[in-house]
Structure 1
């Protein structure tokens, strides 16, 4: 019984430590309408944005895109408030958060 307990403990530690060393990073990018609809796929977290998010991550030496979604400017630390210049001519800038992992 002690052997089984020791094996299970070792397996748990191995799994927990490998997850702890996973390198992930969130990139905040401007959501610019490109006329192809990819911007909306990314912003809404829809399946059609998966390839664009993965491509973005791969160009930055990451292996996968864990998630992608629209973020409010207030969620971004150090961003300009919505009254401070993100809106011009009735159009406001939007941002996408892409989480990449190695």
Structure 2
């Protein structure tokens, strides 16, 4: 009897932790700010960890689990394609994917 109560309690804790492990990927425009933070985020370098965490925390998530550059064609239907040509100039926007977890 006692072991079944312990198992039920363990199951409840696992279910509760799985429900709270909500994660979401945010796609943001990678804007050059003059400080190099944009390149740290886009390359996935350690120096971008603080900026990614701050971004997640500003959206009520606890931490950033990943961040990297994404190509516009990876973002289906949200980034204009520009007539089938690959954008490569300085006016072309870079995008960063930041994965946040609660």
TM-score by length of 2: 0.76
| Paired residues, number | 99
Q: What is the match of residue 99 of structure 1?
A: 99
- Describe the superposition over 1:19-62 as per-residue Cα deviations: whole angstroms up to 9, x where unpaired: 35511111100011111010000001010000000000011001
Q: Mark the runs of 5 or more structure 2 residues left unpaired by the alignment.
A: none
Q: Secondary structure at the match of 1:36?
A: coil
- Describe the superposition over 1:53-85 as per-residue Cα deviations: whole angstroms up to 9, x where unpaired: 000001100110010000010110102225469
Query: Judging changes above 3 Å, is the alpha-carbon distance between structure 1 residues 27 and 48 closer, same or farther for their aligned structure 2 residues?
Result: same
TM-score by length of 1: 0.76
Q: Mark the runs of 5 or more structure 1 residues left unpaired by the alignment.
A: none
Superposed displacement of residue 94, structure 1: 0.5
What CA distance in whole angstroms lies between the structure 2 residues aligned with 1:56 and 1:94? 17
What CA distance in whole angstroms lies between the structure 2 residues aligned with 1:74 and 1:65? 23
Superposed displacement of residue 12, structure 1: 7.4
Query: Judging changes above 3 Å, is the alpha-carbon distance between structure 1 residues 67 and 73 closer, same or farther for their aligned structure 2 residues?
Result: same
After superposition, the CA RMSD in angstroms is: 2.6
Superposed displacement of residue 14, structure 1: 5.0
Runs of 4+ in structure 1 off by over 2 angstroms are 10-21, 82-88
